[in-house]
Structure 1
Amino acid sequence: MTELHVPVILRESGYTFYFVMADLNEPPHVHVGRGRSRRSDDAKIWLRPVGVARSGRFTARQIAQILGIVEVHLEWMLQEWRRYESRIS
């Protein structure tokens, strides 16, 4: 997939947070991977309310860290979701 279809919105603490443009018809969420690669076993985190849709290959401790990062950046992530969503509407 190209960057246009999988925009990275945040890199923090070794995690990469990104959207999958084909998923924008679903409730707001981010996919989370390690480093720069994206894999089918990446985590999927709901943004409203914040919760785990799929933990992927991450441990419970890593998921807790990911959820903490999402909470810190939640409003901004929701704004980004709406911005990308408006591109396909």
Structure 2
Amino acid sequence: MSFGIGSITCPQPEMILYLFQVDSEAIRAYFCFMPTVLRIGPYRFFFYADDRDEAPHVHVEREDYIAKFWLDLVRLVRSSGFSRKEINEIQRHVEENQAHLLRSWNEFFSR
């Protein structure tokens, strides 16, 4: 039986290392690729490589804050840490760059 025991953000912002306890003696690890598709000011817009089974969306982070927006009809899915004012600003960036973000999603996940 395996279960997650944590994750470590790697020095490269596009990678994260997930650690899984397989049994009392084995730990498995895998990297998740997180391509950055846009940077605006302090915000990094990115995808998780294993999100292909979900509707098109983008994650946005600044420091330890994160948000997720659907892309077809831009709307906030969830956020942690951002103020309402900042969420509105980020949503405006997503709306202004919607075509680029959707094109990037389709190019990345059609590989």
TM above 0.5: yes
Alignment of 1:2-41 (within 5 A): 3=14, 5-34=33-62
Report if aligned partners of 1:28, 1:46 keep a CA contact under 8 Å in 2.
yes
Please give the alpha-carbon distance, in whole angstroms, between the structure 1 residues aligned to 2:81 and 2:51. 20
Structure 2 gaps of 5+ residues are 1-9, 16-32
1:23-77 deviation line (CA, Å, top 9, x unaligned): 1210000001015xxx5x5111111110000122111001000000011110010
**Aligned match of 1:84:** 108
The structure in which a higher percent of residues are helix is 1
TM-score w.r.t. the length of structure 2 is 0.68
Please give the alpha-carbon distance, in whole angstroms, between the structure 1 residues aligned to 2:37 and 2:81. 20
Larger Rg over CA atoms: 2
Higher RCO, 1 or 2 (CA under 8 Å, sep at least 6)? 1
Please give the alpha-carbon distance, in whole angstroms, between the structure 1 residues aligned to 2:110 and 2:51. 13
Identify the range of structure 1 (62-71 vs 1-10) with the bigger mean alpha-carbon deviation: 1-10
Structure 1 gaps of 5+ residues are none
**Aligned match of 1:69:** 93
Determine what percentage of the aligned residue pairs are the same residue.
Answer: 37
Number of aligned residue pairs: 83
Please give the alpha-carbon distance, in whole angstroms, between the structure 1 residues aligned to 2:72 and 2:83. 22
AA partner of residue 40 (structure 2): E
